[in-house]
Amino acid sequence: MEIIKSLFAENFPAAFATVCLAGYFFGMAIVFILKPVKNAESFSIKPVDNAGKTEIRVYYGGISFALGAFLLYLAFATGTAYYSLVGGMFFATTVFVTRTIFLFVDKGWKCPYTKLAIPAEGCFVIALWTCWFFAK
């Protein structure tokens, strides 16, 4: 508990962002590991067979868990949450920029998931960059 208190005392914006990032990734992991097909379909993804179901669990669930765990590990190992914030910021910004570019390439702007993802990810990226600005 003392380590957590020291991370927040050392750099509150970075620690707050790291906890939010880890919570997001752990939440995504649980959702995709427990109900892969149902949740993937809300992302406009549908597996063609059982191997596809496993891939959803692995890549959306497993990698989400690994990202959350790595960001927490990085914060605890370095004694600062700043590098976790930067890593999460790179990840979220890359996803948002890539989605925005291919939204036009793939003509997916009318899809229900896209209408949710773009503003949600945009706000998330802005919040992370704001935390980074205050964490410097």
Q: Which amino acid, one-letter code, is at 91?
A: F
- Per DSSP, 56 falls in state I
- The pLDDT confidence band at residue 109, using thresholds 50, 70 and 90, is confident
Q: What angle do CA 44, 46, 51 make, to 5 degrees?
A: 145
Averaged confidence pLDDT in the chain: 96
Using CA of residue 39, residue 15, residue 85, residue 67, what is the dihedral sign? negative
User: In angstroms, what CA-CA distances link 49 with 1, 39, 42, 67?
Assistant: 45, 16, 17, 27
Q: What was the pLDDT predicted at 1? A: 85
Mean pLDDT calculated for residue range 40-62: 95
